[in-house]
Amino acid sequence: MTIRFDNQVAIVTGAGNGLGRSHALELARRGARVVVNDLGAARDGSGASSEAADAVVKQILDAGGEAFSNGANVADFGQVEAMVKETVERWGRVDILVNNAGILRDKTFAKMELKDFQLVMDVHVMGSVNCTKAVWELMREQKYGRIIMTTSSSGLYGNFGQANYGAAKMAVVGFMNTLCLEGQKYGIKVNSLAPVAATRMTEDLMPEQALGLLQPESVTPAVIFMASKDAPNRQIIAAGAGAFAKVIVQETTGIYLKPEKQNADELAARWNEATSLEGARELVAGGEQTMKFLTEAGKALGIKLG
């Protein structure tokens, strides 16, 4: 089976370079009409230029595809709304949104100014929120949508000097988790990509030999899969150097402490038991955790719930 996007419309943010460029080109190659969004800023978010986005559009057009560039700042909802309006006026719908735009302002937390923390949150978190909000009602009305967030190992696992970036990248996973619940009856699927790639965001963080293996094109297959009609839902897919994996947030079975033993000393004494991975599982909604705890308490106290 070949995944195709004929008659579908995709918006890819931060598509002038790196991963976004690769995603946009491959979506177009598979038949999608593509909005190549890029503010054209430097890696730290400063400046603006349409040159990179225009070059991607030219490449798509020269290959016989359909595309146009848009320089909306994803952190500005008014600009994002205007971009979506232009897309709908031109092509009538939006089927796919790839939230890829991002910046870096790396420093240790002790040296980081709050303005640099806020700016990274504005672009990564509110940028994803703004773009998603602008297409959400459209997708609900057409009863179809594919939305991809871009998370990172820096958010999932931590990375020295990236407290702002890591916080933002974990936030979009939480955003995804709720959108999946609210969008599923409307045919909207939301997933997250955790990429490792050689881009201007990582060019000075890795040795040259490693960068040679970490091409953006090796990550894009995960985006194409998540954008397809048969896409999964609520998945975090890690991708890099041609390798792909699922990231899972699990919760241990845990322990129950009787009322007379509900204190920190007892918890400390039984911490190894509480953290045993035997029986750990992935929960798919916050309410599952509540019911799990209430069920354990009810069993211990002889209380029948429900």
pLDDT digits (tens, 9 = 90+) for 150-188: 999 999 999 999 999 999 999 999 999 999 999 999 999
Is position 165 annotated as part of the catalytic site? yes
Are 172 and 287 in the same domain?
Answer: no
Are 195 and 258 in the same domain?
Answer: no
Residue 38: Cβ-neighbour burial (10 angstroms; 0-12, 13-18, 19+): buried
Are 156 and 287 in the same domain?
Answer: no
Which of 247, 262, 279 represents a domain boundary (last residue)?
247
Whole-angstrom Cα distance, residue 233 to residue 148?
10
Which of 247, 266, 289 represents a domain boundary (last residue)?
247
Q: Is residue 1 part of a domain?
A: no
Name the 3-class secondary structure at 237.
strand
Whole-angstrom Cα distance, residue 225 to residue 14?
19
Are 164 and 76 in the same domain?
Answer: yes
Q: Is residue 255 part of a domain?
A: yes
Q: Is residue 3 part of a domain?
A: no
Q: Is residue 4 part of a domain?
A: no
Are 272 and 212 in the same domain?
Answer: no
Are 203 and 159 in the same domain?
Answer: yes
CB neighbourhood size of 127 (10 A): 28
Q: Is residue 223 part of a domain?
A: yes
Closest Cα to residue 192, out of 106, 132, 103? 132
Query: pLDDT value at position 247?
Result: 98
What's the number of CA atoms in the CB half-sphere (13 Å) around residue 38?
Answer: 26
Are 241 and 269 in the same domain?
Answer: no
Are 58 and 17 in the same domain?
Answer: yes
Query: pLDDT value at position 211?
Result: 74
Are 38 and 72 in the same domain?
Answer: yes
Are 62 and 131 in the same domain?
Answer: yes
Whole-angstrom Cα distance, residue 251 to residue 75?
34
Which of 247, 266, 293 represents a domain boundary (last residue)?
247
**Total structural domains within the chain:** 2
Whole-angstrom Cα distance, residue 207 to residue 16?
24
Q: Is residue 306 part of a domain?
A: no
H or E, element range at 67? strand 67-70
Q: Domain with 119 in it: what CATH number?
A: 3.40.50.720
pLDDT digits (tens, 9 = 90+) for 46-98: 666 789 999 999 999 999 999 999 999 999 999 999 999 999 999 999 999 99
Are 130 and 274 in the same domain?
Answer: no
Are 150 and 207 in the same domain?
Answer: yes
Cα angle at 75 between 204 and 26, to 5 degrees?
Answer: 60
Q: What are the structure tokens assigned to 259, written together?
A: 């009322």
Q: Is residue 15 part of a domain?
A: yes
Query: pLDDT value at position 203?
Result: 60
Instruction: Look at residue 199 and tell me whether its pLDDT is greater than 80.
Output: no
Which residue range(s) make up the domain with 280? 250-301
Q: Is residue 2 part of a domain?
A: no
Instruction: Look at residue 115 and tell me whether its pLDDT is greater than 70.
Output: yes
Instruction: Look at residue 208 and tell me whether its pLDDT is greater than 90.
Output: no
Which residue is catalytic, options 144, 157, 165, 256?
A: 165
